[in-house]
Amino acid sequence: MKKLLLIQPSPYDRQGNPIKKKKLYFVGLSLPLLAAMTPSDWEVEIIFEIIEDIPFQTDADLIGISTMGHGVIRSIDIAKEFRRRGKTVIMGGYMASIMPQEAMKYCDSLVEGDAEHVWEDLIQDFERGDLKTHYKKPLREGWFSTPKPRFDLIMDKPIGDFLPVQAGRGCPNTCSFCSVACLYKGSYVKKSLQEVERDLHQVRDLGFGKVLLLDDNIFSDREYLKDLLSILKDMKLEWMSQCDIRIGREDDLLEDLAESGCTTLSFGLESISRESLIAMNKGWARPEDYTELIKNIKRHGIDVSTEMVVGGEGDTLESIRKTKDFIEDNRISVPRFYILTPFPGTSFFKDMEAAGRLENRDIYSYDGTAAVHTPANMTAQELTDSYWGLYESLFTIRSIFTRNIMKREFLKEPLRYLFYGIVNLYYRHQIRNRITPNIF
């Protein structure tokens, strides 16, 4: 029996060590899906490096390594080590897909984009000794299909109290810095509702009452979402996902979301600067509406999580400082921020390169902790300093208490917001060590 080892790397900390945790709350879906697509006469092992060590001494015939964000640096180092040991290495994931020519330097074969239509061919080619260096086949327009993920391979690992289920991929918006926009180019592809329901039943049968609905933007197809909510309502599961902030205008839809078990929605607000949003090709978002939209979402019993970037064309040192007030005024429980980074393959990278505004061309140092381009209204060092200053100002004990305890929602669900408080304290620890907090 041949053996496949699938690895989700952990990013490096400031000392060059892989970040480690005792528990993985946000379980990735790509590796359990790849395992499910692998023929039954193969043995498959999954490794989440953030909670376990990589078995470099493995007897696996084939090594699959995912790439995500600035963790791609660790992915490359793992690939180099396995190839040094004579192993055949496959790489895939968002970062490898948006910079395929670069990624191919470090692996024997690259899966660019989605793997559903190429994985069977890849495995067969490997068995015949005819592995190609590059596999790419786009999903059929509108729909995609997957088998049930192999969650049985991770049930003995220290994971959280929810599992991921995927409904759609892609997003109709094309933000210039976004890797999703690079791959899906404004399209949104969906799984059949029958497959989604099948996967929800699997999660419930495994004993989980909560689901992370993996979707780049669940608001992309209103009719599909309404049908999905009917299924979720019958399943009686708690769930969370991410979508477009404009859903905050949809009272009837928000009511349906809450009734179906939705507890939290995450939004990429990006900036409180309208000029920055326009430059990011996100001019449809209006920061002057953010507060009312957030209030309306919360009014329906749905908590709000946010992600924002600093360093846009309209950002100033003052606007970054005011972002703290925005987060505290809106009582955002777990805010996350990133330095706007021109990753190769994105429109933003091309724009900054054409304008001569790349201060650092070593793409392997793009770890999200320091500015690598010249912002419009400050120096790169000022952007880096203001980024960490924003994080430090929001993760004081006082601010954590204000955003999680001093809110009406706390009286209804104290345990949830106490848990968020603990998450904030962990983020505070990471920030002190100059590690960008992330979802793990």
pLDDT, tens only, 194-230:
999 999 999 999 999 999 999 889 999 999 999 999 9
H helix or E strand, kind and range, residue 409:
helix 408-412
Residue 173 confidence class, pLDDT cut points 50, 70, 90: confident
Question: Residue 367 and residue 375: Cα distance in Å, rounded?
Answer: 17
What per-residue confidence (pLDDT) applies to 439? 60
Residue 437 confidence class, pLDDT cut points 50, 70, 90: confident
CATH number of 2-136: 3.40.50
Residue 176 confidence class, pLDDT cut points 50, 70, 90: confident
For the segment 328-338, the average pLDDT, to the nearest whole number, is 95
Of 287 and 364, the one with more pLDDT: 287
Residue 140 confidence class, pLDDT cut points 50, 70, 90: low
What per-residue confidence (pLDDT) applies to 174? 87
Global pTM value = 0.92
Question: Residue 370 and residue 367: Cα distance in Å, rounded?
Answer: 7
Domain extent listing, the chain: 2-136, 257-271+284-440
Question: Residue 46 and residue 52: Cα distance in Å, rounded?
Answer: 10
Asked whether 225 and 219 are in contact (CB, 8 A), the reply is yes
Give the position of tokens 């080892």.
5
What per-residue confidence (pLDDT) applies to 435? 85
Q: Backbone phi, then psi, for 41, in 5-degree steps? A: -90, 10
Label residues 259-273 b or e (16+ Cβ within 10 Å = b): ebbbbbbbbbbbbbb
